[in-house]
Every structure is written in structure tokens, then in C-alpha cells.
Amino acid sequence: MMRNRIASLVESSLQAALTAQELTTSTLPDVIIGTPANSEHGDFSCNIAMQMAKGERKAPRQVAEIIIRQLGDGQGLLTRTEIAGPGFINFFVAPTAWQASLLEIESQGDSFGRTTTGGGKKVQVEFVSANPTGPLHIGHGRGAAIGDTLCRVLDAAGWDVTREFYYNDAGAQISNLALSVQSRCLGIEPDDPRWPADGYQGDYIREVARSYLAGETVEASDQHTVADGDPQNLDAIRSFAVAWLRREQDLDLAAFDVRFDVYTLESGLYTEGRVDAVVRQLTANGHTYEQDGALWLRTTDFGDDKDRVMRKADGGYTYFVPDVAYHQAKWERGFIRAINEQGADHHSTITRVRAGLQALQIGIPQGWPEYVLHQMVTVMRGGQEVKISKRAGSYVTLRDLIDEVGRDATRFFFIMRKPDAQLVFDIDLAKQQTNENPVYYVQYAHARICSIFENAAEKGFLIPAGPTPDTLACLTTAEELQLIKLLAALPDTIVDCAAHFEPHRLTYYLTELASCFHSFYNKNRVISEDHNLTAARLYLLKRTAQTLKNALSILGISAPERM
């Protein structure tokens, strides 16, 4: 990565300055390389001189001058360096270094963009984790897209990623599900006074009931369930309905190209005794008290605004207690780092779950687990909000969107905004085959390059492998150099996406790269009578196609060769 190469040069310069006793700081701060907002100010920048100025008892610009003097031309990597403002150091990379970076892209092929930043360390990402009470809705869809892409980004950044789905298959909602299916089995309709007060009314409930009465077998994730067929056996109905809806969710996620490594059931935490064990441990540690017939956890000891009920007066546990037990299990499985991708409506659970984990006193650090919360999605068609699904009744399902606009567009649209920003999903825009549609715009760039290759082959031009420096030296126009710089930025972009839990940055990168390519193509003739220049530009576009494909793959989106 070019950014790392610049950082290494600065670190070497600092060491040389220390050896020459021009600097005296014994413990050097981390060298952070950024990108100037204005490209005229250089390719990269660094504020290390300002960080060190106080300790050195020198003005930041004096420290910068020392670093630059030791830096020189950076072993041929730099054309010049400049001091800007109060002491920023701006770096201008030599065109030959940018041109040579294309050879690295070629050598890495499908692996270009991947880094070892994560060092193979374990990280667990929990996402979707929908209650098995109905089809996945668009909120689940956005969570699936963000969570899955975050996993792909972390994997590309060198982390050992485990994808996990947690099913809340216990509690009042599951009881309501079972009663709803039982009612359908008995021929009771939602307008009947015997219908459960909080029952589920979507058409899918009728499908579950029909399958149960037919004695069907359901294979879902890691579960094998055979219908009992008896409409009076509520326990059997409950187990079958959960399995049936888990299978439906599996099919939705498979259509979305989302997979999981581990499935955990909330009910298992109870049957294994984990929930009771957590309560006993918290009580033994002195963090609980009884009041008004309920058992409370002193979450205020750990930053909460008020204490929380753990066990209600009726003996049932509140929902955050099994969450604490579940996360204790994550910690025991060796996940020093765990990330939960959830809807913004889960914000209130963060403090109490973390408080419960701290109160266990088993060495879990503060701020564990980490959270990524996404905001709601509004679906629009023809300028009007779409609110219901024919099958689910009360909401738009993920499958509705996939069926109508396709997997690629659905994934891209869900990812292309920062998770904590509300998202408007415009179905009409997602279906357009124009440059106004961002996913089409990016995919078309790849297809357009492929068509250029076909045209070149028809005219007898071949794309060179490992071109000579003389050939690469032909790439000197502003559009060519800008395109090369963007290609080289993919690994840094992946690292930043992983570090900040912001996969939307990759959609921004792809949009900018596609725009840069289209600009290059509109201003520069690729195939010409100058064979050396033609070879250089074909080589550049080959690397561009590879980079587009690699970045789209990390988003879980295809790179079509024809459109």
C-alpha cells in the first residue's frame, strides 16, 4: 500500500534524525498518513511534526524541516515534499512509482485489495438475528447487507471472521406466533373474536398452518423438525413454526448471498442453564437487589442512568438477561473482539448488556462488545412510500425487493449510506439502466472496459503482461495518473472500511473509480496507431477492470462483462 510506504519512509527519517541527535523524543508517536482535501497539496500528508513539537521544544515547522531533510526523495518514491500551514508535511509521489503500482495489481490479481492488517486475529460479527416470527423485512435486509459486507471487509483486511445469527426463539413473541398458527390450524380467522390479541395476521401464518397439518418435514440451518399435525399440541406447533420460519429466512438470506458460520438459539441458553448461572453469578458478586418482588441489577454502577429489572415479579427474565448470558458465551469462545450489527431500536440495550458483562467480573473489557447500529429504511415507488407486502401484510419484505430489483441493486442500495443515516430506497431508480442508478453506473464501467478489450482483440491488439517501464511511462495524462492513484487506493480503502465499520466507503470508492474511468475514456483514445501507447492504456484498463471486480466482489455484487 502506498500509504504504508510513505509511513515507513517517515519512520526511517525519524530514526535517522534521532541518530543524528537532531531530534530527541525517545518514544515516537504513531505515524498517521492522510490524504489532503485538495489534490494540489499533494498525494499524502502527515501531522507528525505537530505531534512532536511540544516534546522537542521546537516549532512544528522546524521539526518538519528536519524530517524532510532526512527524507530526501524517499529512495526515488517522491518528487518533492512541502511544509503546509502550521507544520503539515505534504508528499508528492513520483509518476514512475504510481505507474509501477500497476504491476503490483497485476501480480496480486483477484487478491488485490486484501491486506494482512488484521493479523489473523479472531472477530465475531453477529447480524440480522431476526426473531423467527415472520419473513425478513427491509430493516433486516439493510442489517444483512451491512453485516455481511462488514464481514467481507474484515476478512479482506486480514481478520479471522466468524459470522453468527442469534435467534430469539423464546418469550412472548414466540408464544404469540404459536397461538396464531394454532388458530389458523383450527380455522379461526383474524376477524374472529377468538383470534389471539397480539397474533400475527400475515398470509404466511396460513402457509405455516397448512404445512403443519400436512405433517411436513422442515430443514432449517442446523435444525430438523417434523410436524406433529395435531392442532391441539401447542408445543409441537411452536417448534414447527419456528423451524418453518427459520427455513424461510434461510432462503431469503441465500437469495441475498448471505451465509453464517454459527447459529445460536436463545432457548438453548435456558436449557443449558446459562441464564440461571448468570443470575447466580451477578447475585454472588453483589450487584443485584430485590425490590417490589423483582430482582434488579445495579447497572448504575456501570454507567447506566437507572438500575434495570432482571427477573420480574412473575418469575420471568427481562430480555437483556439472556443477552448477557449469550455474550458471556461469546467471550468464553475466545472472541476478544465481537461486533453486533443491529437496528437503531436496540440502542437502549447496549449499556445494560455491557453493564451485565462488567458485573460478571470475568475480565471482559469495557466497551465490549462493539456495536454498529443502522437506521430505518423507507421504500419508495412512483414517488409514494411502499408500506406493505402482499405476503407479510404489514411490511415490505427483503424478498419483495430482491424479486423486483435484483440482488445486486438491493445490496448496493442498502450499503451505500452510512449505517446511522436513514435510507430511502427508490425502487424506480434501482431498476433504471442509466447512469443515474449508482450500481448500474459502476457495473457498466466494468462492462464497458470488457467491450474495449473485445474491440482491441478484433483489431489485433493484445494486452501486455508485465509491460516494460518504457511502456508504463506512456501513462502521463492527468486522467491516467488519477485513475492509477485511485486503483492503488483500494487496499487503504478496505483498511479504513474495516477500522471504522463503514462499508459504505467502498461504494463511494467504486463510484469515484467508475467516474474516473468514464472521464479517462471520454478524453483519451485507447486504441490508436501508437502501439506502445495503446498497449499501455489497455494494460491500465485491465488493471481497472480487475480492481472494479475485486471491490464489487467484496460488496457481494457481480461484475458483468456485458450489459
Farthest-apart Cα atoms in the chain, separation:
89
Per residue in 84-94, pLDDT (tens digit) is 999 999 999 99
Cβ count near 390 (within 10 Å): 9
Cβ count near 103 (within 10 Å): 16
Query: What was the pLDDT predicted at 1?
Result: 83
Contacts of 551 (CB under 8 A, 6+ apart): 113, 490, 493, 506, 509, 510, 513
Contacts of 216 (CB under 8 A, 6+ apart): 226, 227
Query: What was the pLDDT predicted at 147?
Result: 98
Single-letter code of the amino acid located at 206: R
Examine the pLDDT at 393 and tell me if it is beyond 80. no
Q: Which DSSP state fits 300?
A: G
Q: Which DSSP state fits 365?
A: P
Res. 222 pLDDT band, cuts 50 70 90 = low
Res. 220 pLDDT band, cuts 50 70 90 = confident
Query: What was the pLDDT predicted at 219?
Result: 84
Examine the pLDDT at 281 and tell me if it is beyond 80. yes
Contact 244, 228 (CB under 8 A): no
pTM of the full structure: 0.92
DSSP element (H, E) containing 415: helix 407-415
Contacts of 167 (CB under 8 A, 6+ apart): 129, 130, 131, 132, 242, 246, 263, 264, 265, 266
Phi (first) and psi of residue 322, to 5 degrees: -60, -30
Q: Determine how β-strand 288-291 pairs with β-strand 294-297.
A: antiparallel
Phi (first) and psi of residue 401, to 5 degrees: -70, -45
Chain-centre distance for alpha carbon 276: 34
Per residue in 479-529, pLDDT (tens digit) is 999 999 999 999 999 999 999 999 999 999 999 999 999 999 999 999 999
CA–CA separation, 543 vs 152, rounded Å?
21
Cβ count near 458 (within 10 Å): 9
Query: What was the pLDDT predicted at 94?
Result: 96
Query: What was the pLDDT predicted at 225?
Result: 86
Query: What was the pLDDT predicted at 224?
Result: 80
Query: What was the pLDDT predicted at 171?
Result: 81
pLDDT, mean of residues 250-257: 94
Per residue in 99-132, pLDDT (tens digit) is 999 999 999 999 999 999 999 999 999 999 999 9
Q: How many CA atoms within 13 Å lie on the side-chain side of 514?
A: 25
Q: Which fold has domain 2-93?
A: Gyrase A; domain 2 (3.30.1360)
Over the range 511-547, which residues count as b (16 or more CB within 10 Å of their CB) and which as e? bebbebbeebbeebebbeeeeebbbbbbbbbbbbbbb
Q: Which DSSP state fits 21?
A: T
Query: What was the pLDDT predicted at 421?
Result: 96
Examine the pLDDT at 413 and tell me if it is beyond 80. yes
Q: Determine how β-strand 308-311 pairs with β-strand 294-297.
A: antiparallel
CA–CA separation, 514 vs 438, rounded Å?
10
Query: What was the pLDDT predicted at 42?
Result: 93
Average pLDDT, the chain: 94
| Residue range(s) occupied by CATH 1.10.730.10 in the chain | 99-116+434-554
pLDDT, mean of residues 450-467: 94
3-state secondary structure of 483: helix
Per residue in 319-361, pLDDT (tens digit) is 899 999 999 999 999 999 999 999 998 888 899 999 999 999 9
As beta bridge partners, residue 342 has 373
Query: What was the pLDDT predicted at 339?
Result: 98
| Residue range(s) occupied by CATH 3.30.1360.70 in the chain | 2-93
| Secondary structure in 3-state letters for 245-297 | HHHHHHHHHHHCCCCCCEEEEHHHHHHCCHHHHHHHHHHHCCCEEEECCEEEE
Examine the pLDDT at 221 and tell me if it is beyond 80. no
Per residue in 30-75, pLDDT (tens digit) is 999 999 988 889 999 999 999 999 999 999 999 999 999 999 999 8
Considering the domain 99-116+434-554, what is its CATH architecture? Orthogonal Bundle (1.10)
